[in-house]
Structure 1
Amino acid sequence: MKKSSILILGTDHFSSQNNGDLFMTEKENMLSETKQVELNEVITCLKGYRPTKVALEVLKENDVELNRQYTSYVKGDYRLTINEVDQIGFRLAKECDLQGVHAVDWNKDQDGVPDFNELGGLVESDEYKAFLKLGQELTDTSNSYAQNHTVKDFFLWLNDPVNILRGQEIYMKLALVGSESNPAGAMWTAKYWYYRNLLIYKNLVSLIDSSDERIFALYGAGHLHLLLQFIKEGGLFEVEYVSDYLG
């Protein structure tokens, strides 16, 4: 039985928007002439996927405003910002003559989810220090790679299975933070991180209108492990890979 296709591009966030990220990389100037040329190459490669829909890391409740901006861009009345939603999502959708784009994110406060700014003594634990150490190591490595490679090569690196798994390791270290009576890290990972990604997966599935769908999704690279896991286990998509188009 034919299934819809999906291609997820894991990305760094081009701007310093507050997405609740635990670690933030240094930002390249994606509006520079050099980076714009490199982005053009990426868009040309991704166009080969022939997406029927473009799904973006934007809160679902902001879909109307997102598409107002996209329509304005297509008409020539909207100047693209540095954000990857604009620089990749909007540009790819326009190149593929799509009438709109799709906001598929969820990100809300949940009861029972600890705030890591208010953990008190837990931040002094060995487990929390190990989490911070790995997160900073991966951030530093990402910064160095981005500064010494083209955008296309950086995307290939971010989406390499080895780096996807290392990104997930951060959350597994975080899950160990806390005591038996207060397993704060496990609660955050299960009640927020896994829950958020399950809802993103649900929103992606809702975009399937026929078996001919070819859905391109753009998301922060930290989401890749769980989104790919849920998509593969769900059995509703044929999964395609970034390396098939940017490699």
Structure 2
Amino acid sequence: MKYSLLLLASISVGFFTTKINAQKISKENEGILKPYASYYPKQKTKVLVVGTFHFSYPGLDYTKTNEDDKIDVLKEPKRSEVEELVAYIKRFNPTKVTIEAKEDWGMDKKFEEYKSGKHRDVRNESYQLGMRIANDLKLDKIYSVDATTFSSDLEKKYPKMMKELTEGYDFQSDDPFAQMTQKSFDESTKFPSKVKILDYIKYMNTEEGHRHNYGSYLVGDFKLEDNRGADFLSIWWYNRNLRMFRKIQQIDHTKEDRILVIVGNGHASVLRHLFEYSPEYDFIEFSSL
């Protein structure tokens, strides 16, 4: 017993001494080992990524919402809840607004029509959030930043190869972690009808929420044999988000700009990762507004 206590004490002292020495080394060499952030400008373009569910329920995602759980953002009380969400996002005071839309969607024309009073009854979040916020803040333009994928490019040239690569990538995996994740997604489709929209959007856009969503792509079909799952994910979903990130990079902006990115929450988790790790941008937490 006495030996054990002495051993524990010596380990503790050794650990404590090591920490002190490590601190001394850091202090002595801090002029050489500069913080990585010191290599970049202190002021950077601020970016707020707002991941959301799709207000109009287009049914394009694997996880579907039952009719009884769908909400109508044009009717009370959800109409007022959308207004509350809009007011909250406007605290960011964006100078540029981007949405999840393809370039051929005709954004410029639709936004001009919106400013003239049209499309106010369209449930899509691109209208209810993106256009409304840009219009309220007197912005001249909204940017479409959705992108096609490298996998779709390859499918046109090499359909046989792509068919073999994607065989079994159907979100039907028996991986226990994939099933746990799917259970959480199924339950989440009920949340908009049970809680305030702002609370749900805050919940989705936490660091934990984004980590959960990001992680869902690293289980299930990702584990297909011969690296097929990893290969397909990289040229499909991850590539799409990289291309979206690149489109945002290409928007003419300065370090004084504040870019609002409104996308489906699956995109938000990857975009968060990209903006947080890019030396060009200052990622703003949604909960900090």
TM-score range with shorter-chain normalisation?
0.7 to 0.9
> Which moved further from structure 2: 22-31 or 101-110?
22-31
**Map of 1:123-202 to 2, 5 A cutoff?**
126-127=174-175, 130-131=177-178, 133-174=179-220, 176-180=222-226, 183-202=227-246
Between the aligned partners of 1:207 and 1:228, the Cα distance in structure 2 is 18
Between the aligned partners of 1:123 and 1:59, the Cα distance in structure 2 is 25
Q: Normalized against structure 1, the TM-score is what?
A: 0.86
Q: Aligned-pair distance for 1:130?
A: 4.7
Between the aligned partners of 1:120 and 1:199, the Cα distance in structure 2 is 25
Q: 1:45 to 1:121 in 2, by over 3 A?
A: closer
> Which moved further from structure 2: 166-175 or 80-89?
166-175
8 Å Cα contact 1:93/1:101 also seen in 2: yes
Between the aligned partners of 1:124 and 1:97, the Cα distance in structure 2 is 46
8 Å Cα contact 1:174/1:189 also seen in 2: no
Whose helix proportion is higher, 1 or 2?
2
Q: Aligned-pair distance for 1:204?
A: 1.1
Which letter maps to 2:209?
Answer: N
Between the aligned partners of 2:163 and 2:138, the Cα distance in structure 1 is 42
Whether 2:105 is the aligned partner of 1:57: answer: no
Between the aligned partners of 1:244 and 1:136, the Cα distance in structure 2 is 29
Any gaps of 5 or more consecutive residues in structure 1? none
What percentage of aligned pairs have identical amino acids?
Answer: 24
Deviations 1:162-190 (A, max 9, x none): 1211111210004533212xx33212211
8 Å Cα contact 1:23/1:135 also seen in 2: no
Deviations 1:131-156 (A, max 9, x none): 3x234312223123322210100101
Between the aligned partners of 1:162 and 1:209, the Cα distance in structure 2 is 30
Query: Which residue of 259, 268, 277 corresponds with 1:233?
Result: 277
Q: 1:176 to 1:77 in 2, by over 3 A?
A: closer
Deviations 1:44-65 (A, max 9, x none): 1111111111000001333xx1
The root-mean-square deviation of aligned C-alpha atoms, in Å, is 2.4
8 Å Cα contact 1:6/1:237 also seen in 2: yes
The aligned length equals: 237
Q: Normalized against structure 2, the TM-score is what?
A: 0.75
